Structure 1
Amino acid sequence: MLLGRSFQVIGIPWPDLNDGLFYNDVVKPPDSGKSLIHFYSCKYKSSAPLEGWLQRIKNEQITIDGEVITDPETILRIGSELVYRRLPWKEPDTPFSLEILYEDDEMIALNKPSGLQVLPGGVFQQRTVLTQLQWWSSDQSFSISEELHPVPVHRLGRGTSGILLCAKTKLARTQFAAYFADGTSSVIRNSTSEEGTKRKISKIYRALVTGIIHDDEVSVDQPIGRMQYPGVAQGLYVATPSGKPACSKVNVLERDEQGEHTLVQVEIQSGRPHQIRIHLSSIGHPLLGDPLYVAGGQPNCLHSEVVNQSFAEDGGYERPMKPVPGDCGYYLHAHQLILYHPKTNEKGFLVLLKVVKIVAPLPPILRTRSEAEDFHN
C-alpha cells in the first residue's frame, strides 16, 4: 500500500461575482436567412424564453462578427460568427476548502465537502472543485518544471461528500478511465492473475437512510435510465426497467429503531449517476433528507409543475421550484477508495501492482456508536 500526504487543506475564497461566460456559434447553411431572435430562441430555448432572448439582444450581449447587434430581426448569413456573453453573476454560497487525502506524481485524492459541485454546470460555473484545482495547480507550477493539469476522473453529487479522485497526468487519466469503464468492485487482490486484476477499483460509501432495513445484506440490481423532467435539460436519472444495468451491495451497520433510521455501507459495482440515491429509494429506503428521490427510485412531485416560466434578471428561466439533482440535504459520503496505482513502466505494462487505499474521515452523523466513542476517546 502506498502512503501519501494527507490533511493538507487547499482552497481560495470565491470572488463575489464570477467572470461570466461566452458562447460561440458559427452560422451553418440551415440557419442562413433566419433572424437573430429566431436562431437563439429556437436553438437555445432551454436557456431562456423568447422574451429573455429579446432582453439579451437589446442588452448588447450578442455580437455578429465582432459587432454588437441590438436588432433582433437581423438576418444571419452563412459563416458569420455569433457570440453571446452571459453577464457575471453571484453563484449560490458554496464551500471552497478541500482536504488532500492522498497525493503523488500521478494522482491526487480530495475530500469534497457537501454542497460543492465537481464540474461546471447550471448556476455553478466558477464555484466548483475543478476551479479550485486549476487555481491550486497554477500556484504549484511555479515551483516545478512541468505544469500541472489535475482533473477529476469521476463525479460526486453536489450533496455527496468524501473522496474525489483526480488525475495529474495523461497516463493516469487514461488508466482511471479504463478502471471506471470496467466497473467497480469490492474484489481487489494482491495478485497478478486474470481474476485478481479484472477489477482495479473499489468504492465504498456510507449513507443514512429512512426506515429500518431488516436484512443485514441487500443486493440491488435495479436498472437506471433517464426520463424527461422539467428543469433538468438532459433528463433525470431514475429507476426504470429500460435503463442500464446497475448493481449495489448494501450492508447494514447500525439500526436506530427509535429514530427509524438505518446506517448502511454501500459498495457500488457500477457507476450510474445518483446510483446510491436511486437504489436505496427503489427498495423503499430513500436517503434521509433527500429532497428529490422517494420510495420507488422516482422523483418527488413528479406530476407537479416544477418550472417557473417567468425569466430571471439575466433573461434565463428562474430556478425550478421543485427539487433537482443538485439539491443537498441528504447524508451520503464516499468513505473508502481502493485501487491499483496507474504508474506504468517504459514499455507501457503495469509495474508490480501497488494497491492504494484512501479513507475520508466520516462526518459525525455517519459514524456508528462505537466509532463515535473511539473518536472521542
Structure 2
Amino acid sequence: MADAMAAAAAGESPPLQADYFFGRPWPDLNEGLSYTDTFRGADAETTAALINFYSENYKSSAPLPGWIHRIRNGQITVDGQVVTDPDMILRVGSKLVYHRLAWKEPFAPHLLQVLYEDDDMVALNKPSGLQVLPKGIFQQRTVLAQLQWKEWKMPPSSCSKRKNVQLHPVPVHRLGRGTSGLLLCAKTKLAKVQLASYFAEGAANAEKKRDGTEVGKERKISKFYRALVTGILEHNEDVVTQPIGLVHYPGVAEGLYVACSSGKPAMSKVCVLERLVHQNQTLVQVEIHSGRPHQIRIHLAYIGHPLVA
C-alpha cells in the first residue's frame, strides 16, 4: 500500500497486483482449424479436380478415401462456397479452405501464475505440460489462449500511441511443453520488440563466442534451467558449443532437430548441482546462451548425459 501511495504522489502508475493465478477450464472440444490454399497453375488454362489437389498435395494428412469423405462431408469450401463433389474442376486463383472438425486435445493444465506485472509486461510461471503457442494437436490448450481469454488491465491508449497498444499480452519467447519456468509476455508492441531483441542477443553472442570465453557478459536476459540427467558428470562445469540443425527423418514431416555441424550456433553452460551416485544420475543447472529448439536435450545428450525420461 505504501508503494502504491508513493507512486501516486509521484504521478506514476501504482504497481499492479502480482502473485496470483488465473485460467479458464478448457472446453471439451476445441474450435477446429481451417487451412487455406490458393490453386495456382502453370497458365490460365490449367485445371484440376478438387480431389486431386488435396490427395496429391496432402498425402500425409489423409489417404484418397479420407479426402473424399471430407469433401462429401462439406468440410471444404471453394471461393466461399461449400463443395461436396470431389470431381469439381478448380480454376486458377480459386481460394480453397479445408475446415478440420473440432477435436478433444490431450490433457493440459489451465492455471497460470502471475509472478510480476506492470504496464509493459507480465511474467508467468508456466507449468509443465502446457504448450505456449498453437502447434500440432494442441491448437487451443495453450498459454496464448489463456492470455486471450483473460481480461487484462492494459495501458490506456491516452497514455501511449494507439499503434503500441495490444488487446492482450503475448509471449516473447517459448518454453517447451514439458518444461516449467518463467515465461515473459509483452503488453505493448514496443515491449515485445525490446524483449525479443534481448533474447536475440543471446543467439548472436553464442555465434561470436563459440570458444566459451566471456560467457554471458553482454546479455541482458539470462536463462537458467534445472535438469536431471543420466550418469555422473566428471567436471563441475562444461560449456557446450555444438551447432543444432534440422535434418530429414523418415516419418516426421518437419524433420528432427539434432546436433550437426551444418546447424546454427548454440551454446550451453552446464553446472553440476548434485551428484546422485546411488541413482547414477546428476542434477545440473543449464544456462543457455541461444534459443535453439530442444537445445538442452540435444546438448546434454551430446556430452553423453541424456535427460532422465
Structure 2 residue 102 is the aligned partner of structure 1 residue 79: no
Query: How far is 1:234 from its partner?
Result: 2.0
Structure 2 residue 248 is the aligned partner of structure 1 residue 234: no
Task: Tell me the residue number matched to 1:224.
Answer: 244
SS of aligned partner of 1:38: helix
Task: Tell me the residue number matched to 1:307.
Answer: none
CA distance in 1 between counterparts of 2:79 and 2:194 reads 42
Q: Which moved more, 1:92-101 or 1:175-184?
A: 175-184
Map 1:88-107 → 2, pairs under 5 A: 88-107=102-121
CA distance in 2 between counterparts of 1:181 and 1:147 reads 22
Task: Tell me the residue number matched to 1:13.
Answer: 25
Query: How far is 1:4 from its partner?
Result: 7.1
SS of aligned partner of 1:266: strand
SS of aligned partner of 2:124: strand
Query: How far is 1:23 from its partner?
Result: 1.8
Task: Tell me the residue number matched to 1:171.
Answer: 190
1:81-130 per-residue CA deviation (whole Å, 9 max, x = no partner) reads 21211111111111111111111111111111111111111111000111
SS of aligned partner of 1:233: strand
Structure 2 residue 280 is the aligned partner of structure 1 residue 255: no
Query: How far is 1:24 from its partner?
Result: 2.0
Task: Tell me the residue number matched to 1:363.
Answer: none
SS of aligned partner of 2:304: coil
1:178-212 per-residue CA deviation (whole Å, 9 max, x = no partner) reads 112221689xxxxxxxxx98422111111111111
Q: 1:148 aligns with which of 148, 167, 172?
A: 167
The gaps in structure 2 that reach 5 residues or longer are 1-14, 158-164, 207-215
Task: Tell me the residue number matched to 1:24.
Answer: 36
CA distance in 1 between counterparts of 2:301 and 2:65 reads 39
SS of aligned partner of 1:207: strand
Query: How far is 1:262 from its partner?
Result: 0.4
Query: How far is 1:45 from its partner?
Result: 2.7
TM-score by length of 2: 0.83
Map 1:1-377 → 2, pairs under 5 A: 5-30=17-42, 32-136=46-150, 139-140=151-152, 148-183=167-202, 198-289=218-309
The amino acid of 2:39's aligned partner reads V
In structure 2, relative to structure 1, the CA distance for the partners of 1:143 and 1:264 (3 Å cut) is closer
Runs of 4+ in 1 over 4 A off after TM superposition: 141-147
The amino acid of 2:35's aligned partner reads Y
SS of aligned partner of 1:242: coil
CA distance in 1 between counterparts of 2:177 and 2:260 reads 23
Query: How far is 1:41 from its partner?
Result: 1.9
Aligned 8 A contact 1:61 1:85 in 2: yes
SS of aligned partner of 1:212: coil
Percent identity of equivalent pairs: 65
Aligned 8 A contact 2:119 2:155 in 1: no
Query: How far is 1:20 from its partner?
Result: 0.8
CA distance in 2 between counterparts of 1:79 and 1:241 reads 42
SS of aligned partner of 2:106: coil
**What is the aligned residue count?**
277
CA distance in 1 between counterparts of 2:84 and 2:183 reads 45
CA distance in 1 between counterparts of 2:153 and 2:31 reads 23
Aligned 8 A contact 1:107 1:169 in 2: yes
TM-score by length of 1: 0.69
1:204-229 per-residue CA deviation (whole Å, 9 max, x = no partner) reads 11111111112101111111011123
